[in-house]
Amino acid sequence: MNVAILKETLPGENRVAAIPATVKEMVKSGMKVLVESGAGENSHISNDEYKNAGAEIVSDRANLLANTDLILKVAPAELDEIDMMKDGTVYVSFFQTTIQTEHVKKLVNKNISAFSMHLIPRTTLAQSMDALSSQSNIAGYKAVLLGAAHLSVYMPLLMTAAGTIPPAKVLILGAGVAGLQAIATAKRLGAQVEAFDVRPVVKEQVESLGAKFVEVESDEEDGVGEGGYAKETSEDYKQRQQQLIKEHIAKSDMVITTALIPGRPAPVLIPDEMVQGMKHGSVIMDLAAENGGNCELTTPDEVTISHGVIIDGSLNLPATMPTHASQLYAKNIITFVKHLCPEGEIKMDLEDEIISGALFAHRGEITHEPTKEALNKS
């Protein structure tokens, strides 16, 4: 069985889907691994390192795509890449299937069996395949560093001969994987940290990291949706939430937003009027920018200033740390590949909850209901 590792072509995408260590594992399983020339260069991995691990280096992308059984990527395949794939290929990458509907249609028309790492179930068995979590961890860490670089104040408490400098106040909206890492990183830098989440169950985790949990008083919502993600809340809850956030955001030097609802645009937690009430020189790091942003004024992939507040809508923060991001993603991928190919060959077991959960297109049909609904609306 031929496995292809492609060089990422999306601007700013510096990660790669396999590293030499995971190539060795695939080769040991009896797979022939074909690596596109230069695939690892942005992650500081040379062609020779892949060759020494047992891979074959291929320069002709069209030939590579036309003669492989399993394609591994980080970013979603471009439309022209899908055109070059042979019918019936199995394909794995990150893929927001309810948003990138044109790409889904093309995959379906080519009879590609397509898996999205976004759709890996949040179960104990699939934990080591959870690429969304491994990459969100990096995003939470990097968001604090970038936010600190934007600030005009110190993060930690400083006692100097010229006087005492109080610690920066950091507010984290959303205490999932990215939010918890942001809390931990901000605390290490000496900031005073608060965190808000619609799920009261995360309070213990937030407090264990040394942050204060900001809680909406309500007994009608637990805020927990499928897979442990946040879910839509009632209008009454949203109003209380907005008021509480408004009070705390006005005192903050840095706000990091991480709130996402799978398959939907990011909820707006910070409207224009709330930004107007923030301190001049304060910073909003919007980790939901790719899905529209948690701040009404966020411009995806740009750093802007509104009402004296710096709003950073940087995309794909994990790709700015490609060495460790690729290492973690490659580990998630190899674990999934071993599950999909238990004896070195693809075994499409649709009764398996991990395989069926991550699969969104198979044999010319869409197998993921939210994706099917999104295509019907498009």
Q: What is the pLDDT of residue 242?
A: 87
**CA atoms 112, 79, 43, 53: torsion sign:** positive
Q: What is the pLDDT of residue 7?
A: 98
Q: Is the pLDDT of residue 349 over 70?
A: yes
Condensed to tens digits (0 to 9), the pLDDT of residues 48-67 reads 999 999 999 999 999 999 99
Grade residue 222 by pLDDT with cuts at 50, 70 and 90: low
Q: Specify the fold of 2-119+321-367.
A: Rossmann fold (3.40.50)
Q: Specify the fold of 137-320.
A: Rossmann fold (3.40.50)
Q: What is the pLDDT of residue 217?
A: 74
Q: What is the pLDDT of residue 237?
A: 78
Segment 274-297 shows an average pLDDT of: 96
Q: Is the pLDDT of residue 77 over 90?
A: yes
Cβ 155 vs Cβ 209: under 8 Å: no
pTM comes to 0.92
Q: What is the pLDDT of residue 225?
A: 53
Q: Which residues pair with 4 in a beta bridge?
A: 34, 71
Cβ 113 vs Cβ 361: under 8 Å: yes
C-alpha of 26 from chain center: 25
Condensed to tens digits (0 to 9), the pLDDT of residues 8-19 reads 999 999 999 999
Catalytic residues: 122, 127, 130, 133, 229
Q: Considering the chain, tell me which residue range(s) the CATH 3.40.50.720 domain(s) occupy.
A: 2-119+321-367, 137-320
Query: For all residues of the chain together, what is the average pLDDT?
Result: 94
User: What separation in angstroms does the CA of 47 have from each of 32, 53, 54, 75, 248?
Assistant: 16, 10, 11, 20, 51
